[in-house]
Chain A
Amino acid sequence: MDQAASATMLHRGEVPAWAVNLGVGIVIAALIPVSISFDKYIDNYVLDVLIRIGVAIILAVSLNLINGITGQFSLGHAGFMALGAYTGGVLLKHYQHQIHGALLPPVFIGVTILGGLVAAIAGLIVGIPTLRLRGDYLAIATLGFGEIITVVLNQIESIGKFEVGGSAGLHNIPHVTNFFWTYAWVVICVVVIARLVYSAKGKPFFAVREDEIAAAAMGIDTTYYKVAAFVIGAFFAGVAGVLSATLSGNLDPGDFNFVKSIVIVVMVVLGGSGSITGSVLAAILLTYLPEQLRAFEDWRLVIYALLLIVMMLVRPEGLLGNRELWWKRKTAMV
């Protein structure tokens, strides 16, 4: 895919939009038989790790849109994820006896989208006021937002007749997520964000990161693009939240504290801020490696922290830096 062309004119070698959409449709359709055979033949533990990798990819790529591509350092991604997770978990748990069989797939699609939307609205609410802040202040404000969500979730036992669980957490959420649902969303998330930022309409995202003042001077509505990045990123974080809630079946407000946000930040930084494929790689690596490090469980987070520090000292641009693995780099990046 060569994304260098303008939105209207196709250059030689560029794949037209309908072909991309068709390709995405085919890939998602192909996931169905894969998922069914995985369910049948693959060990539950391996499947579980695969699904968690998928969730991590969605989280990392969506945070990369905010942190890496638009350059707005956010430490509140787990907060958006929590909103999605609780929306999905609460609804699915409450209605689990009414929903089964053929009704389940469409309802689950609806619930994931709803979870994403709730998070996106939060992204809008948080985004508009706090995006006046820059750099480290923004980081702290988003961190504060994430912590507020955790504190509030800890306090709410129920909303009306819906059980939320409070500090005890929410348990026995039906396990709906499977390989198909997760990777269908992975494909959607990666394709949407990649096509957004590597299109002509996506250049302002990079411009805002490179130099906000210069971008504003060129007539770019920087606030619009920053809020857009927050809303889209939050949407996918919410989706990832629904997926992970229905994977484990349990929700605990403590799971979404700022350590979780940092783990996602580490993925983005390790993969290379601004590189979508880098985030995908890092998400795979950082979800798979801990599984192999089970024997060193005590030292796992110590290794994480050291990795982050050494990475920053030695190669602050991350594994891939600004580049992508497969795309030709022809965007307006500096």
Chain B
Amino acid sequence: MHDFLQQLVNGLSVGAVYALIALGYTMVYGVLRLINFAHGDVYMVGAVIAYELAVKLAGLNSPVWVALPIIFLGAMVGCGALGFTIEYLCYRPLRHRPRLVSLITAIGVSLLLENLFQNRRIFGATPRNLPELLVIRPVLSIAVGASHSPVIVTNLDLISMGLCIAMMLGLSWFVLKTKMGLALRAVSFRVDTASLMGINTNRVISMTFVLGSALAAVAGVVDAMRYQVDPLMGLIPGIKAFVAAVLGGIGSIPGALLGGFLMGLVETLLKGYLPAQYNNYSNAAAFVVLILILLVRPSGLLGKTTVEKV
């Protein structure tokens, strides 16, 4: 029981990160019907910005409560700008081309970011550790039943889950209560009609990219603290978050959250309960889940079923 609860905590903590990345996928897919392959790399850029800022701030000996907000905000602003640029330069000119053309371009952007940051003049291929700004330590330990070892929740788990929930609430407010959010919903319903109704679709799409990239940046900073910063770190979480978005129903914002948490739980539980020698198979689990959903319920858990029209 204790083990299970501990895995649950870990799973939710990892899942929160997937959920944050999945939100970006799902929002972009909602308005453009494009799988933004480069999204995982935007998350990586967030981690790299966090690293650069953390090194600077560690040099200045700034206290954690000053440094952390600066890092998070810096990464969000940087990635937001990056997301805007990618959309403006690479996807906007292709909007009226077949969707596959944008998909291939997205793959190109992903490849470009990965290799640019692998270059040693920019970041280098070797993974680096964030300077110890935030010492990861248990803040909560909950005794369960008769077990001797309590369930441990670290401060990073709390940050990760707390930020995820805060972002989610902020995003819901934005999408449901503001005029821009209404425009976003209209564009994701049908772009052409929305534009006929006087909505500046270009601005809405740009804003979607900025928001999605900023959310990915938050995920990137959390993972930079949890693991290491590495130019290829976006690949696997990117794909897993995409699977999470599909699992929840791509285009659905609550779906991304649900999918992300489920994905994190499945992965940690598999890691926890599979025998050690099969541990690496948990990486393949995401793909098996993906192929299964696509075959059984392509619209995902919370997605709408659409009928294809000629």
A contact set with B: CB distance below 8 Å: 73, 129-130, 132-133, 135-137, 139-141, 143-145, 147-148, 151-152, 154-155, 213, 259, 262, 265, 269, 298-299, 301-302, 304-306, 308-309, 312-313, 316
Binding-face segment, B69-77, B94-102, B143-151, B201-209: B94-102
B158 within 8 A of A: no
Q: Which residues does chain A contribute within 8 Å of B283, judged by CB atoms?
A: 147, 151
Those 3 A-B pairs whose CB atoms lie nearest each other, nearest first: A144-B287, A305-B112, A308-B108
A129 and B292 alpha carbons, distance in the complex (Å):
10
Q: Which residues does chain A contribute within 8 Å of B295, judged by CB atoms?
A: 129-130, 132
B59 within 8 A of A: no
Say whether A262 contacts B111, CB under 8 Å.
yes
A305 and B114 alpha carbons, distance in the complex (Å):
10
* Majority SS at the chain A contact face: helix
A63 and B59 alpha carbons, distance in the complex (Å):
51
Encode contact with A along B240-255: 1 for CB under 8 Å, 0 otherwise. Answer: 0011001000000000
Q: Which residues does chain A contribute within 8 Å of B242, judged by CB atoms?
A: 140
Nearest Cβ on chain B to A159's Cβ, whole angstroms: 15
Nearest Cβ on chain A to B45's Cβ, whole angstroms: 15
- Per a CB cutoff under 8 Å, which of A145, A306, A313 touches B112? A306
Least CB separation from B120: chain A residue: A298
Q: Which of B95-135 contact A (CB under 8 A)?
A: 97, 99-101, 103-105, 107-109, 111-112, 114-116, 118-121
* Majority SS at the chain B contact face: helix
Least CB separation from A259: chain B residue: B111
Say whether B290 contacts A144, CB under 8 Å.
yes
B176 within 8 A of A: no
Least CB separation from B125: chain A residue: A298
Least CB separation from A151: chain B residue: B284
- Per a CB cutoff under 8 Å, which of A137, A154, A262 touches B107? A262
Q: Which residues does chain A contribute within 8 Å of B308, judged by CB atoms?
A: 213
B272 within 8 A of A: no
- Per a CB cutoff under 8 Å, which of B90, B114, B118, B281 touches A313? B90
Q: Which residues does chain B contribute within 8 Å of A155, judged by CB atoms?
A: 277-278, 280-281
B66 within 8 A of A: no
Say whether A265 contacts B107, CB under 8 Å.
yes
Given A144-B290, A302-B115, 10 more A-B residue pairs with CB atoms under 8 Å apart are: A137-B246, A140-B242, A152-B284, A155-B280, A213-B310, A262-B107, A298-B121, A301-B111, A301-B115, A313-B90
B53 within 8 A of A: no
B167 within 8 A of A: no
- Per a CB cutoff under 8 Å, which of A129, A148, A306, A316 touches B288? A148
Least CB separation from A298: chain B residue: B119
**What are 28 A-B contacts defined by CB distance under 8 Å?**
A73-B100, A130-B295, A136-B99, A136-B100, A137-B246, A137-B294, A137-B298, A139-B35, A140-B35, A140-B242, A141-B291, A145-B287, A151-B281, A151-B283, A152-B284, A155-B278, A155-B280, A213-B310, A262-B111, A302-B115, A305-B109, A305-B111, A308-B104, A308-B107, A309-B108, A312-B101, A312-B105, A313-B105
Nearest Cβ on chain B to A305's Cβ, whole angstroms: 4
Nearest Cβ on chain B to A30's Cβ, whole angstroms: 38
Nearest Cβ on chain B to A272's Cβ, whole angstroms: 13
Q: Which of B281-310 contact A (CB under 8 A)?
A: 281, 283-284, 286-288, 290-291, 294-295, 298, 308, 310
Nearest Cβ on chain B to A218's Cβ, whole angstroms: 13
Encode contact with A along B30-65: 1 for CB under 8 Å, 0 otherwise. Answer: 000011000000000000000000000000000000
Say whether A302 contacts B101, CB under 8 Å.
no
Say whether B119 contacts A299, CB under 8 Å.
yes
Say whether A145 contacts B291, CB under 8 Å.
yes
Q: Which residues does chain B contribute within 8 Å of A140, judged by CB atoms?
A: 35, 242, 246, 290, 294
Least CB separation from A317: chain B residue: B101
Q: Which residues does chain A contribute within 8 Å of B290, judged by CB atoms?
A: 140-141, 144
A143 and B286 alpha carbons, distance in the complex (Å):
12
Least CB separation from B242: chain A residue: A140
A139 and B294 alpha carbons, distance in the complex (Å):
12
